[in-house]
Amino acid sequence: MEFAEFASRAEEIADESGDLATTDRVRDLLCDASDALPIVVRFLQGRVYPAWDATTLDVGPALLHEAIARAAGPNVDSDDVESKLAEIGEIGAVAATYEFGGQRGLGAFGGGASGGTDGESGALTVAEVDDRLREIAATMGEGSEGRRLDILFGLFNRASPAEATFLARLVLGEMRIGVGEGTVRDAIAAAFLRERVADAEPEYDEGPVDAADADAVDAVERALQVSNDYGMVARVARDEGSEGLDAVGLEVGRPVQAMLAQAGSATEAIEDWGEAVVETKFDGARVQVHFDGEETALFSRNMDDVTDPLPEVVEFVESAVDVPVVLDGEVVAVADDGSPLPFQEVLRRFRRKYDVERMREEVRVELRAFDCLHADGDDLLDAPLSERHDRLRALLGDTDAVSEPVVTEEPDEIAAVDARALETGHEGIMLKDPESTYAPGKRGRNWLKRKPDVETLDLVVTGAEWGEGRRANLLGTFLLSARVDGESAGRDAVADSDAYATIGKVATGITDEELESLTERLEPHVEREDGQIVSIAPEVVFEVGYEEIQASPTYESGYALRFPRYVTVREDKSPADADGLARVERLADEQ
């Protein structure tokens, strides 16, 4: 598929206002994508690599602006691009204002490792754009910045305005065409898992996904939750249908979405299951351990690779097991006497790339494994929890690194485990159905969390205000938003996650030191400034405490927080994992 075709279809998709009509258009694009299908699916989501792969292009705005300027000709420089950006507000639209192509004679620039621009004239294809962008990602070491610039220049130099729009957005990882994960999932199901009436006119007012398609959507969703690879799942759906999707299994080294818990009580657990597995709820950060027999990779809950920041965990795994495994667990920080430290101590590690060794001396972290998804060639996602626990214990033995599940049908015994957990400084307990399988990405009723803490909310920062006087160069008051739960949220689906509604501002509970690091963290995401007030792209999630949720006309959500208090940055959550309005509403009702 030519990149121009992709760009023009992406424009049509962006112009479509209805959800169902958008899904129809995405479906049609997938049907027409032929060999480029996996790439088209990723590009639609602004990705070059699958969601589980942490590889980045490492192209910042400055480099992108320079590449655009260079391709736009000798009369344009980065300053021009940047002043246009200040005026227009979005780099894709800025890129579309230039005439590219005048630099074709400059053969030394723009080629890939496969050779200069020679032989690279003519229309850009989707595959070629993908190849070049991957080449950019693979370019490292001395002189790599110049090399990345050359490759980008080469792409823009051959781009039409529409192509340049999407090329620029793709490089920055944001397509802005209103296509969320749920739309892509539904479109894959509609495209490949039901008979298409070849010559029927598309009917944009009737959606493709009706109740009868729910099984198809579920099949796609399960494969996505296990693999986190939309491109591969689309290809399998097209080439092998539902059976192929059912066979998409776990792969050591490729993270699956974490199974999640709902809040619940011991009474509910025993009523529903008869017997309950009771485990300590460790107060740390979720980690998925993949050991392929030689190397270990660790992934956080939102599938970032956290192997480097956690060398102790890697060392532990490699000393404890010698067969391939996938384990699910929590990384906890422990004091010298072995007692647990607050989970913020672990999260501090996740963002430290460079001084891991020093951090390691300051904070000791350890693994607490509570599930086993793969052991020595056996996939265990569909095995009951009791069996997965047996395998876990067989692998790791009787150590602190394994949670000690108690199986009981007595509420008093559950209360005793709970009291012990709290006494020893843990967060509370988890209750699990011993017969349940591992359901990736699901927040079902098979895992219940019971913790006595007052609830907190995980909210997305969407704005801030510059401080005054001594704090004039620090962002101070932060505007918080809840996720607007997508249509699909109710069905445990991968919710479309690009809409947020404001719910309040937080300014208390933040030390000067924290203000500095928060400013550093948020400033790159500032989208607009109006005097002291800035709007910020949804990237960072704050955990906040509060005394009460009130109905309020002041904010978009219709709610406001009373006495909001900053707790921490949830480094382990992306905006898509932040709390949605449904939870806010429920908490407000429960007060």
Binding-site sequence positions for ATP: 279, 286, 301, 330, 370, 443, 449
In this structure, what token pair is assigned to residue 430?
């988890």
| Vertex 200: Cα angle to 494 and 208 (nearest 5) | 15
Residue 229 or 330 with smaller CB distance to ligand ATP: 330
Q: Which residue has the tokens 């621009």?
A: 117
Min dist CB 67 to ligand ATP, Å, is 39
Is there binding between residue 330 and ligand ATP (CB under 6 A)?
yes
Interface segment toward ligand ATP; rule CB under 6 A; list 31-39, 84-92, 176-184, 258-266: 258-266
What part of residues 519-538 is at the interface with ligand ATP (CB under 6 A)? none
Q: Considering the complex, what minimum distance in angstroms separates the CB of residue 582 from ligand ATP?
A: 14
Q: Contact at 8 Å (CB) between 224 and 42?
A: no
Taking the CA atoms of 117, 120, 123 and 124 in sequence, report the sign of the dihedral they define: negative
Indicate the residue among 221 and 330 with the shorter CB distance to ligand ATP. 330
Known binding residues are: 279, 286, 301, 330, 370, 443, 449
**Smallest distance from the beta carbon of 356 to ligand ATP, in angstroms?**
22
CB–CB of 126/231 below 8 Å? no
List the interface residues with ligand ATP, window 401-430 (CB under 6 A): 403, 430
Instruction: Assess 5 for contact with ligand ATP (CB under 6 A).
Output: no
Q: Which amino acid would we find at residue 405?
A: P
DSSP 410: -
Q: How far is the CB of 329 from ligand ATP (least distance, A)?
A: 8
Buried residues in 347-365 as b, exposed as e (16+ CB within 10 A): bbbbeeeeeeeeebeeeeb
Q: Decide: is 571 part of the binding site for ligand ATP (CB under 6 A).
A: no
Residue number, 132 or 389, with CB nearest to ligand ATP: 389
Site string for ligand ATP, 358-377 (x = CB under 6 A): ------------x-------
Q: What's the min distance (Å) between Cβ of 343 and ligand ATP?
A: 8
| Helix-helix angle 126-138:144-157, to 10 degrees | 170
Q: Which two tokens stand for residue 138?
A: 């693979």
Q: DSSP characters for 499-565? A: -EEEEEEE-TT--HHHHHHHHHHHGGGEEEEETTEEEE-S--EEEEE-SEEEE-SSSTTSEEEES-E
Task: Based on the shown chain and the rule CB under 6 A, indicate whether residue 158 belongs to the binding site for ligand ATP.
Answer: no
Which of residues 22 and 280 has its CB atom nearest to ligand ATP in the complex?
A: 280
Can you tell me which residue has the tokens 């920080």? 333
User: Residues 450, 478: contact at Cβ < 8 Å?
Assistant: no
Nearer to ligand ATP (CB atom), residue 51 or residue 402: 402
CB of 430 vs ligand ATP, minimal distance in Å: 4
In degrees and rounded to multiples of 5, residue 8 shows phi and psi of -70, -35
Burial 289-307 (b: 16+ CB within 10 A, else e): bbbeeeebbbbbbbbbebb
Q: Which residues within the stretch 259-298 sit at the binding site for ligand ATP (CB under 6 A)? A: 260-261, 279-282, 286
CB of 282 to ligand ATP, least distance (A): 4
Count the residues in the chain. Answer: 591
Least Cα distance to 375 among 352, 395, 360, 345 occurs for: 395
Does position 389 interact with ligand ATP (CB under 6 A)? The reply is no
| Pick 405 or 486: Cβ nearer ligand ATP | 405
Task: Identify whether the C-beta of residue 542 lies closer than 8 Å to the C-beta of residue 569.
Answer: yes
Using the structure block, give the residue that is written with the tokens 């509420």. 411
Task: Provide the annotated active-site residues.
Answer: 281
Binding window for ligand ATP (CB under 6 A); candidates: 6-14, 243-251, 256-264, 520-528: 256-264
The residue among 154 and 405 lying less far from ligand ATP, judged by its C-beta, is: 405
Between helix 19-32 and helix 181-192 the angle, nearest 10°, is 60
449 binds ligand ATP (CB under 6 A): yes
Size, binding site for ligand ATP by CB under 6 A? 13
Residues engaged in binding ligand ATP (CB under 6 A)? 258, 260-261, 279-282, 286, 330, 370, 403, 430, 449
